[in-house]
Amino acid sequence: MPFSLAMAGKGGTGKTTMAGLLIKYLVARNKGPVLAVDADCNANLNEVLGLKNPDTLSQSREDMKKGKVPEGMTKDIFMQMRMEEAIVEADGYDLIAMGTPEGAGCYCAANTLLAGFLEKLTNNYPFIVMDNEAGMEHISRLTTKNVDALLIVADASRRGLQAAVRINELARCLNIGVEKAFVIINQTKAEPSDEVMQILAKEGLELIGTVPDDETVYAYDLEGRPTVQMPDDCKAVQAAFTIFDKIVP
């Protein structure tokens, strides 16, 4: 069975950047091949990784609905072919993206496609990294389930911590099969205050580490450069790798 890690957190905490650094870490530690899953409808994990825009599972389904199945081919075979074509192969990892929902606000079919396809893929990879959308909807829709480590990325603000607490509470309430949940506080300018530690301790959440505010991250983002290409000696990369050393077997 693969070791699966899922990202969660409110918007703006650097969740996708952390997902990219986790993939960078796993490849650097020869843990591959890694399956990177972009389960965010606003898919941009490929940008962090420096890959082209992937075909998505949702787009494959839309093409089927619009009658783009070649004559003589069944819909099942067409979908299998298109989903396999949607896998973007890279050095040490592959990327698959869920894509946008069909219709106004409906994510159900896209989630079902992703879950079903992942079941067929998982045994091919020793590690899976899933980047989810911001907030808690992916928890309540059960997109995130049966994971070894839920990495909740927060900032040191009260709202960021409250979001982390709520995500953890919802995961426990729905009993979605999270083996262990960890909090990563990102973009820190100082060590977490006593108040922060008290909030986390009260909720039984483990702070696995912090990642400092690093101008290199902002510079790469502003210039449109993949953040996974940041040098290994930059502060954010070093801190993230130290955290992952504590989690990844």
- Give bridge partners of residue 182 from the DSSP assignment: 151, 206
Q: Give, rounded to a whole angstrom, the gap between the first and last alpha carbons of the chain.
A: 13
CATH number, domain of 184, equals 3.40.50.300
Measuring CA to CA, which residue among 142, 48, 145, 141 is closest to residue 97? 48
In terms of pLDDT, which residue wins out, 238 or 64? 238
Residue 137: what pLDDT? 53
Q: Grade residue 142 by pLDDT with cuts at 50, 70 and 90.
A: very low
Between CA 161 and CA 154 the distance in angstroms is 6
Domain containing 133 equals 3-247
Contact between residue 210 and residue 188 where contact means Cβ atoms under 8 Å apart: yes
Residue 112: predicted pLDDT: 63
Predicted confidence band of residue 85 (pLDDT cuts 50, 70, 90): confident
* Residue 193: predicted pLDDT: 86
pLDDT in tens, 48-84: 999 987 676 667 677 776 777 787 787 777 777 777 7
CB atoms near residue 36 (< 10 Å)? 28
How high is the pLDDT of residue 95? 92
For residue range 122-131, what is the model confidence (pLDDT) as tens digits? 788 999 998 8
Question: What was the pLDDT predicted at 87?
Answer: 85
Nearest in space to 5 (alpha carbons), one of 240, 185, 206, 181 = 181
| Contacts for 48 with CB less than 8 Å, ≥ 6 apart | 16, 17, 19, 20, 226, 227, 228
Average pLDDT, the chain: 82
Question: Residue 109: pLDDT above 60?
Answer: no
Average the pLDDT over 205-214 and give the result: 94
Amino acid at 143: T
pLDDT confidence bin for 141, thresholds 50/70/90: very low
Taking the model in full, what pTM does it have? 0.85
Asked if residue 138 has pLDDT above 70, the reply is no
What is the DSSP code (8-state) at residue 9?
B
Model pLDDT for residues 220-235, shown as the tens digit of each residue: 988 989 999 999 999 9
Give the chain's domain count: 1
Return the top range by mean pLDDT from 6-10, 21-25, 80-84: 21-25
Q: Is 63 left (phi over 0), alpha (psi -120 to 50) or beta?
A: alpha
Sign for the pseudo-dihedral over CA of 91, 94, 100, 105: negative
- Find, among 57, 37, 50, 51, the residue nearest to 99 by Cα: 57
pLDDT at 133 over 70: yes
With vertex at residue 109, the alpha carbon angle to CA 107 and CA 114, rounded to the nearest 5 degrees, is 95
Give the full edge-to-edge strand order of the sheet including 206-212.
Answer: 88-89, 93-97, 34-39, 127-132, 3-8, 147-154, 178-188, 206-212
